[in-house]
Each structure stands twice: as C-alpha cells, then as structure tokens.
C-alpha cells in the first residue's frame, strides 16, 4: 500500500493553495512586450511555430485502489508547425516528444471554396466536442472518462469540413483507417467513418454551440475485434462570466466473439470566472459505465484555472469518487503547470 505522508499532503496542499491565492498584481495580459516579440518572431500566416509543455502532478491519498504512483511527470512536450501557402493549400505537423509515436498530426489541407476544405493525413476524427478542443485549452487537467475511452481521437484518413452560407451550421466528415495513429497503414482493409454537425445559434452575449456526431467501424485491433458504433451529443454555452457544458457518448460494441456491450458516459460542467482572463473555478460531474458489470464510475471534479500571462496556465483539480465503495483515500489531486503559445 502506497499512502501519502501527512507532511507531503500539507506541502502539496500548501503549494496548490498558494498558487490559488495568487492575485493579478503582475503585468496585465494586454501589456506583455516580450510575448508580443515572440508572437511577431514565430507567428505569421505562412509559418507558425507553437510549443506546449505540461508538467502534471498526480497525487492520491491512498494509492492501493488506484493505478500508478504519486509524483510528477512531463505529460506533454509538443512542437507544432503550420501555415498557409498559395492556391488554397495549408499544412500542419505536430510532434509530442513524450509519446512513443511522436508524430501526432501530419495534415495537408486544400481550401476548395471559402466554406469547404479538404484534409488528408493524420488528424483528429470529427467526433466529440471535448476531444476536438486542443490539449492546452481543455477546461480540466484531463478530458472526461467517456471521451478518453470512446472517442476515436487521431486517425489517418481524409475528410471534408465546411460551413453553411448562413454561418450557423458547420459540418465535418471523414473516412479513416480506424486503427489510430499507426503509420503502417490499415490493419484490416475496412474503414472507419465519422461525421459531426455543429449549430452555433446567434446569441446576444457570449457563445452557444450544439453538436451531434456519429462514427462506425469494423475493428481488428487485437484489443477489440468486431463492429463498433458511436453516437454523441454535446452543448456548450458561455455568457458574461459563466460557462455551462455537457456531453454524452453511447457506444454499441458487437464483438466477433463474446457478448455485445453498450458503454455509455457523460459529463456536465459549470464554470465561473472570478476575474475575467485570470481566475476560473469549475465543477464537473463525470460518469462512465463500461457495461462490464462493474457499475458506473462517477466523479465530482472541482477545478481551478489561473492564467498569470497569455502563455502560462496553472490548473488544480480535486477528484472525489461518488460511486459505491469509494472512500476518502481514493480522492485525487491533479496539478498542471503549462506553457503554450
């Protein structure tokens, strides 16, 4: 049993609370001359360089029921290069040096019209609002259980994306190998298809987005062999200092051998900006059922985000299990120290 000592708990809570108590006495985000120099040096329409580095602390009071070890890790070290060229062509290459397969995006795009673009290469399949949000911009340290478990994520294939003439509706669809980021080609000769439609109704303040998505594949990955069908829906509304969002994903898994399963999960979030652009508090209910007889895995996630500058962010998440059999020792503290530009 790996149990965190009392002094370690006090130190880590003190670190989190001292950062949470930090006020905006520093330089205003709109007056950062060094950041503006950086932007001018590496950002242009034809050539952009982006960097993301995340150091994450993962701490559980009693680790005996939770996988992993207490401590810190470099969760992400990314380098992105992208830009636009003549004749409607664009490119994107992104690496993550922490991962074994370091290439996580490699995409060529062709703008057919102002409202229609063709993509080819390695990129995120059009499924799940939270999955499609870039890693440096998600609301919490980690994505929700259901999104991490069921969304297709990055795939190799082709796609079309566009916007209706009224600007209210957008869509994306694609055909992919269905075996993730593998550079070795398709593993079974059958394709995965995914599609997403998003409505962004006009509102007098803030933003409003409603999305639905579907994906289908015949898998032969070793981990699962059979037919996979995914449905998902999401909504996100922000106004004044408030944020409300929710997403649900349902899966129908029909294996070649064994019984069918219908994993299902959802998450619902409410957030409030204490100081616009600086401090944000959030709460999320995160639920996932693998349909294996183990029951639901439910968490209440309390979050705090702090942006000391345009390039830096600190996140603190406290996860409280609310499913049967959970106790105080299973509660978890996640910390994220991030630079992204």
Nearest CA to 263 among 220, 240, 230? 230
- Phi, psi (5° rounding) for residue 238? -130, 140
Tell me the pLDDT band of 31, cut-offs 50, 70 and 90. Answer: confident
Rounded mean pLDDT, 165-189: 92
User: Who contacts 176 (Cβ-Cβ below 8 Å, separation ≥6)?
Assistant: 125, 152, 155, 156, 157, 158, 191, 192, 193, 194
In angstroms, the CA 335 to CA 341 distance is: 20
Across the chain, mean pLDDT equals: 91
Tell me the pLDDT band of 298, cut-offs 50, 70 and 90. Answer: very high
Residue 60 burial by Cβ neighbours in a 10 Å radius (0-12, 13-18, 19+):
buried
The pLDDT tens digits of the residues spanning 44-54 come to 999 999 999 99
pLDDT at 3 over 80: no
In angstroms, the CA 72 to CA 314 distance is: 14
The pLDDT tens digits of the residues spanning 133-175 come to 999 999 999 999 999 999 999 999 999 999 998 889 999 999 9
């Amino acid at each position: 049993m790996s149990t965190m000592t009392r002094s370690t708990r006090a130190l880590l809570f003190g670190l989190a609370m001292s950062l949470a108590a930090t006020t905006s006495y520093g330089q205003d985000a709109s007056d950062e001359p060094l950041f503006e120099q950086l932007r001018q040096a590496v950002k242009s329409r034809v050539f952009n360089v982006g960097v993301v580095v995340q150091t994450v602390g993962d701490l559980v009071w009693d680790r005996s029921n939770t996988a992993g070890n207490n401590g810190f890790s470099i969760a992400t070290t990314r380098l992105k290069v992208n830009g636009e060229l003549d004749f409607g062509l664009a490119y994107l290459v992104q690496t993550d040096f922490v991962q074994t397969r370091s290439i996580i995006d490699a995409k060529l795009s062709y703008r057919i019209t102002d409202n229609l673009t063709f993509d080819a290469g390695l990129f995120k399949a059009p499924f799940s609002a939270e999955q499609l949000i870039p890693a440096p911009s998600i609301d919490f340290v980690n994505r929700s259980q259901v999104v991490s478990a069921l969304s297709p994520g990055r795939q190799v294939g082709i796609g079309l994306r566009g916007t209706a003439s009224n600007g209210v509706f957008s869509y994306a669809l694609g055909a992919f190998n269905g075996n993730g980021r593998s550079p070795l080609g398709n593993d079974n000769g059958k394709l995965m298809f995914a599609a997403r439609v998003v409505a962004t109704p006009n509102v007098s303040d803030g933003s409003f987005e409603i999305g639905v998505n579907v994906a289908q594949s015949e898998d032969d990955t070793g981990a699962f062999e059979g037919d996979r069908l995914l449905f998902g829906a999401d909504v996100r509304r922000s106004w004044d200092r408030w944020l409300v969002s929710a997403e649900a994903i349902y899966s129908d898994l029909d294996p070649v051998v064994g019984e069918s399963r219908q994993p299902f999960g959802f998450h619902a979030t409410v957030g409030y900006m204490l100081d616009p652009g600086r401090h944000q508090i959030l709460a999320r209910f995160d639920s996932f059922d693998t349909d294996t007889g183990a029951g639901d895995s439910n968490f209440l996630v309390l979050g705090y985000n702090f942006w000391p500058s345009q390039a830096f962010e600190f996140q603190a998440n406290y996860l409280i299990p609310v499913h049967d059999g959970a106790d105080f020792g299973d509660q978890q503290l996640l910390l994220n120290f991030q630079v992204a530009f």
